[in-house]
Amino acid sequence: MSEEKSLNFIEEIIETDLANGKYKTILTRFPPEPNGYLHIGHAKSICLNFGLGLKYGGKTNLRFDDTNPVKEDIEYVDSIKQDVHWLGFNWEKELYASDYFEQLYLLAIDLIKKGLAYVDDLDAEEIATLKGTPTEPGKDSPNRNRLIEESLLLFAEMKAGKYKDGEKVLRAKIDMASPNMHMRDPLLYRIKHAHHHRTGDAWCIYPMYDFAHGQSDSIENITHSICTLEFIPHRELYDWLIEKLGIFPSQQFEFARLNMTYTVMSKRKLLQLVTEGHVQSWDDPRMPTISGMRRRGFTAESIRNFCEKIGVARRENMIDFSLLEFCLREDLNKSALRVMGILDPVKLIITNYPDAQTEELVSENGPDEAYGTRTVSFSKELWVEREDFMEEAAKKWFRLAPGAMVRLKSAYIVKCDGFTKHVDGKLTAIHCSYIPESKSGNDTSGISVKGTIHWVSIAHAIPAEIRLYERLFKVENPASEEGDFKEYINEDSLKIITNAWVEKSLEKATTATRYQFLRKGYFCLDKESMSDKLVFNRTVTLKDAWLKEVKKR
């Protein structure tokens, strides 16, 4: 029995195109502008474009849309390549729109010769005025009917550097009365005396998006050029230029971009968070960037699954952050090593345990036997979690409380006999007695307890710094709230714990490994971690039924 999986609308188009022989094979592309770091929204596009290539035996190019030198940088190129690779995809070719500057220039000349483009002397403001509004038609520029030869000469002079920025532009000659604003003689080329990160100072005229993107698609023989909804109005121009130029007919298809609750997804806003210091860097673990998520401990697999689950359609969406967390936990649960660490330590003393004794107890490493076991050191004095003790047990409380019994994971059952407090009321130690016959693995005590808690032996524990992250914003959709989105930043999104204790095996922790700190969540080593000062990021908590219970009350 094969599982029936419905196709998204783009897959349907492709299957139709393949079935009726329009194409023998497909070619897609992922076309970022190297002006920022990739985020989870880009991941959706990456998974879509590369996924399509893979699914239909086609190929996918990585093409940098680098037509605006003042915003772009090699730093972004490098990070984008790293992120796409990390997500698990391999591009057929690494390409740049700037590779086509010469070809694009020749195409522009072709258009001028056909009488379909002209050089305009108007400045930006005049052009905007004559463009009209959505409800009123525009008016022709006085230069609209200048001679082809004159435009040709002027355009050559533009390229040669004779004019300053903004003095002249090349425009397509289409229809100043079109209801589609993008068809009212759109700009094709502008002058920018700026250094380009790849072409240096070779050019001082640069093509606009509309005269670069579709043409690049066409040059590469891209069959399905997939972009987001806001480019729908550009499609008429995309098709017009390809038709008039008589070049390979790539076709544009649009899908709805990803939006997620409690974060922002525009490069401009993300850049602000970085430059204004609301987060530390592009790869701050609270950022929805691929690099931030990677540092936080997300796996590529979980992000790919997420992109698969959210689907592809044409309507605006707002995905629950909890779906991303579900995909994360689903993957981490399968692969994370189980270890013990105490985030908020309080001392537990086993009064009837021999003072100098240490036992090496066996504990399982993972969710199934294939992960094997390790030993953890057990002794008279342990660190346990402060929140695992209640002076007066609440209803349905399964953990430590005077008179209550719990199992210490992989060790013994202990009974809480008492506790000591500092004068300020803060708990300083919990006193317990253990049941020697209840040793994990050969428990003959006959006692069963409801609660099991984690612990580390004080004498054997190693210190660690642990960073806990909460959502970056206090509201579901900061971009749509009144006022500036930054007013809704959650000031408590980062909590640093400097006095945590973790089990000794973590001395050998690596950034490549994911860990589940039993009962506390999934963690990974941060890049700032050092051998004498371990630093862990909490990737995500475990689901917590008790916390829900508490919140209900």
* Interface of this chain with RNA, residues 367 to 396, rule: CB under 7 A: 367, 396
Stretch that binds RNA, among 5-13, 281-289, 457-465, 505-513 (CB under 7 A): 5-13
Residue placing its CB nearer to RNA in the complex, 176 or 494: 176
Q: Tell me the closest approach of the beta carbon of residue 520 to RNA, in angstroms.
A: 8
Which of the following is catalytic: 29, 59, 173, 267?
A: 267
Which of the following is catalytic: 71, 139, 244, 257?
A: 257
Residue list 43-82, contact with RNA (CB under 7 A)? 65, 67-68, 71
Q: Tell me the closest approach of the beta carbon of residue 186 to RNA, in angstroms.
A: 8
Residue placing its CB nearer to RNA in the complex, 197 or 494: 197
Based on the shown chain and the rule CB under 7 A, indicate whether residue 8 belongs to the binding site for RNA: yes
Provide the phi-psi class of 74: left if phi over 0, else alpha when psi is between -120 and 50, else beta: alpha
Based on the shown chain and the rule CB under 7 A, indicate whether residue 319 belongs to the binding site for RNA: yes
Based on the shown chain and the rule CB under 7 A, indicate whether residue 453 belongs to the binding site for RNA: yes
Based on the shown chain and the rule CB under 7 A, indicate whether residue 182 belongs to the binding site for RNA: yes
Indicate which single residue of 29, 295, 374, 407 sits in contact with RNA (rule: CB under 7 A).
Answer: 407
Q: Tell me the closest approach of the beta carbon of residue 300 to RNA, in angstroms.
A: 19
| Closest C-alpha among 509, 174, 212 to residue 341 | 509
Q: Tell me the closest approach of the beta carbon of residue 271 to RNA, in angstroms.
A: 12
Residues paired with residue 361 on neighbouring β-strands, in sequence order = 376
User: If DSSP codes are grouped into helix, strand and coil, which group holds residue 53?
Assistant: helix
- For the record, the structure tokens of 337 come out as 């090593």
Residue placing its CB nearer to RNA in the complex, 33 or 465: 33
Q: Tell me the closest approach of the beta carbon of residue 221 to RNA, in angstroms.
A: 19
- For the record, the structure tokens of 138 come out as 């525009």
Based on the shown chain and the rule CB under 7 A, indicate whether residue 33 belongs to the binding site for RNA: yes
Angle made by CA atoms 291, 295, 301, in degrees to the nearest 5: 80
Indicate which single residue of 17, 99, 443, 465 sits in contact with RNA (rule: CB under 7 A).
Answer: 443
- What is the rounded distance in angstroms from the CA atom of residue 241 to the CA atom of residue 263? 37
Contact between residue 464 and residue 447 where contact means Cβ atoms under 8 Å apart: no
Residue list 474-503, contact with RNA (CB under 7 A)? 480
**How many residues sit close enough to RNA to count as binding (CB under 7 A)?**
91
Based on the shown chain and the rule CB under 7 A, indicate whether residue 161 belongs to the binding site for RNA: no
Residue list 410-439, contact with RNA (CB under 7 A)? 410, 438-439
Residue placing its CB nearer to RNA in the complex, 453 or 489: 453
Based on the shown chain and the rule CB under 7 A, indicate whether residue 7 belongs to the binding site for RNA: yes
Residue list 127-146, contact with RNA (CB under 7 A)? 127-128, 131, 133-135
Residues paired with residue 535 on neighbouring β-strands, in sequence order = 465
Indicate which single residue of 173, 380, 399, 538 sits in contact with RNA (rule: CB under 7 A).
Answer: 399
Contact between residue 314 and residue 9 where contact means Cβ atoms under 8 Å apart: yes
Reply yes or no on whether 267 is catalytic. yes
Residue placing its CB nearer to RNA in the complex, 181 or 533: 181
Angle made by CA atoms 421, 425, 426, in degrees to the nearest 5: 65
Residue list 241-300, contact with RNA (CB under 7 A)? 256
* Cα end-to-end distance, the chain, whole Å: 48
- What is the rounded distance in angstroms from the CA atom of residue 294 to the CA atom of residue 44? 16
Residue list 494-553, contact with RNA (CB under 7 A)? 516, 518-519, 542-546, 548-549, 552
Reply yes or no on whether 486 is catalytic. no
Non-local CB neighbours of 66 within 8 Å, separated by 6+ positions? 33, 34, 72, 77, 96, 97, 98, 196, 197, 198
Angle, helices 74-86 vs 40-55, to 10°: value is: 60
- What is the rounded distance in angstroms from the CA atom of residue 127 to the CA atom of residue 138? 10
Burial 135-174 (b: 16+ CB within 10 A, else e): eeebeebebeeeeeeebbebbeebbeeebeeeebbbbbbb
Reply yes or no on whether 33 is catalytic. yes
The type of residue at 353 is Y
Q: Tell me the closest approach of the beta carbon of residue 531 to RNA, in angstroms.
A: 27
Instruction: Count Cα atoms within 13 angstroms, Cβ side, for 431.
Output: 7
- What is the rounded distance in angstroms from the CA atom of residue 84 to the CA atom of residue 514? 21
Residue placing its CB nearer to RNA in the complex, 487 or 544: 544
Stretch that binds RNA, among 18-26, 74-82, 124-132, 459-467 (CB under 7 A): 124-132
Based on the shown chain and the rule CB under 7 A, indicate whether residue 165 belongs to the binding site for RNA: yes
Q: Tell me the closest approach of the beta carbon of residue 280 to RNA, in angstroms.
A: 26
Residue placing its CB nearer to RNA in the complex, 176 or 535: 176
User: If DSSP codes are grouped into helix, strand and coil, which group holds residue 86?
Assistant: helix
**Sequence-separated contacts (24+) of 122-131 with Cβ below 8 Å:** 122/169, 123/166, 123/167, 124/166, 127/169, 127/187, 130/176, 131/176, 131/181, 131/184
Stretch that binds RNA, among 163-171, 277-285, 491-499, 532-540 (CB under 7 A): 163-171
Stretch that binds RNA, among 189-197, 351-359, 455-463, 485-493 (CB under 7 A): 189-197
Residue placing its CB nearer to RNA in the complex, 45 or 529: 45
Angle made by CA atoms 19, 314, 310, in degrees to the nearest 5: 90
List the catalytic residues. 33, 257, 267
